Amino acid sequence: MENTSNQTPLLSVSDFLAIVNQTLEYAYPSIEIEGEVASFKINQGKYVFFDLKDAGGSVGCFMTVWQLRVPIEDGMKVIVRANPKITQWGKFSLTVQSIRPSGEGSLKKSYELLKTKLEGEGLFNEERKRPLPAMPTHIGVISSTQAAGYADFIKIIGDRWGGMKIEVAHTQVQGEAAPDQMIRAIRHFNEQPELPQILVIIRGGGSADDLSSFNDELLVREIAASRIPTVVGVGHEIDETLADFAADVRAATPSNAAQLIVPDKREIVAETRHAMKRILSRVAYAIDELRASARESISTMYQAIETGISSAEQALQDKRSLLSAYSPMAVLERGYAIVRGKQTVGEKLHISTNVNEITAEVTDVKKR
């Protein structure tokens, strides 16, 4: 529509609002604004309204609850990514695409709020934790392949163990896009016909803001819901993220994740050698036992033979004694004599005593 009198365009209200919005979209396709949250409220469980303010001004903001990835409350300092818009009622506001806490205090506050919420749902309960296979053959890794933590992980896992298929999903591990990329990677692995036995999510150290992706509510929920047992190794030992708590196994660092996933082959070799030594000593012991037993048997047999010989010797001695007692010489020694020859007068008799052999003549024979 056009006002022909002064060449000034005549617009309907709707057209005017559309043009202003077009102009704003052209001028600010996407901007990030930092400020403090005030009057935060959620309507009908779907729509989020709040004001973003600083010492010099305030602007209304709108977003849906599904875009709200971290808990927000009044007084928190945040950074919003948004498009400026004028509503059909002429109210200027920011349509927020994403919001994240800014500054240590807000990050900590948001972290605590979400931790309390998810803890209340039982997402971090110990009974949910699944054990990892002792010697996996197939693992999935979610990390940035350019990260130092990833290089450490691959090196240490290679030093410790071999023969595994390691599939790596390269994703961002910090920044606004990181949580969604990691969520897609978790889903990708969970949808494979051949599931990895372990899913490892790793990232090296960084500032609280760098690691804040691992406190994203949807990412934490995705980790907890994974069909594949998960290991999360993010940051340094002192760092703590909600993804750590949701994982089946929490590793202090990416290097520690590698240590928890696979045994050390050097230890296995040492154990194998030790097992062989145990076997060998068992055989040696058995041989010693046999030797001792054989020695004992021989000794028993020897003793039995000795006893037999002694008995035989004794028996022989007894027989000798008996025979000696029956010997005619023993009778002669007692003073008797043996007389041989015909007991007829004039005949010669042969008489044996213990000391003499005598020849005598019979001079008389009388009957008793």
Partner 1 sequence: MSKSDKTTSPISDKLAKLQEYVEWFEGDGFSIEQSLEKFSEAEKLAAEVEHDLQELKNEVVVLNAKFE
Among 11, 168, 332, 351, binds partner 1 (CB under 8 A): 168
Binding of residue 176 to partner 1 (CB under 8 A): no
Among 45, 131, 162, 335, binds partner 1 (CB under 8 A): 162
Least CB distance to partner 1 at residue 93 (A):
29
Stretch that binds partner 1, among 184-192, 198-206, 323-331, 342-350 (CB under 8 A): 184-192
Residue 314 CA to residue 39 CA, distance in Å, equals: 122
- Chosen residue from 76, 79, 94, 157 binding partner 1 by CB under 8 A: 157
Contact between residue 90 and residue 17 where contact means Cβ atoms under 8 Å apart = yes
Contact status: 181 vs partner 1 (CB under 8 A): yes
Out of 53, 85, 138, 221, the residue judged to bind partner 1 by CB under 8 A: 138
Number of Cβ within 10 Å of residue 56's Cβ equals 5
- Work out the burial of residue 168: count CB atoms within 10 Å of its CB; fewer than 13 is exposed, 13-18 middle, 19 or more buried: middle
Q: Considering the complex, what minimum distance in angstroms separates the CB of residue 51 from partner 1?
A: 33
C-beta of 251 vs 262, nearer to partner 1: 262
How many CB atoms sit inside 10 A of residue 203's CB? 32
Q: In the range 263-292, which residues lie near partner 1 by CB under 8 A?
A: 265, 268-269, 272-273, 275-276, 278-280, 282-283, 286-287, 290
CB of 89 to partner 1, least distance (A): 37
Q: Which stretch binds partner 1 (CB under 8 A): 43-51, 96-104, 136-144, 205-213?
A: 136-144
Strand partners, 42: 48
Site string for partner 1, 197-216 (x = CB under 8 A): x-------------------
Q: Are strands 249-251 and 230-234 parallel, antiparallel or unpaired?
A: parallel
Q: CA 91 to CA 20: how far, in whole Å?
A: 12
Q: Does 145 bind partner 1 (CB under 8 A)?
A: yes
| Cα angle for residues 170, 183, 32 (degrees, 5° grid) | 90
Closest CB to partner 1 among residues 53, 221? 221
Q: Which residues bind partner 1 (CB under 8 A)?
A: 133-138, 145, 154, 157-158, 161-171, 177, 181-182, 184-185, 188, 194, 197, 265, 268-269, 272-273, 275-276, 278-280, 282-283, 286-287, 290
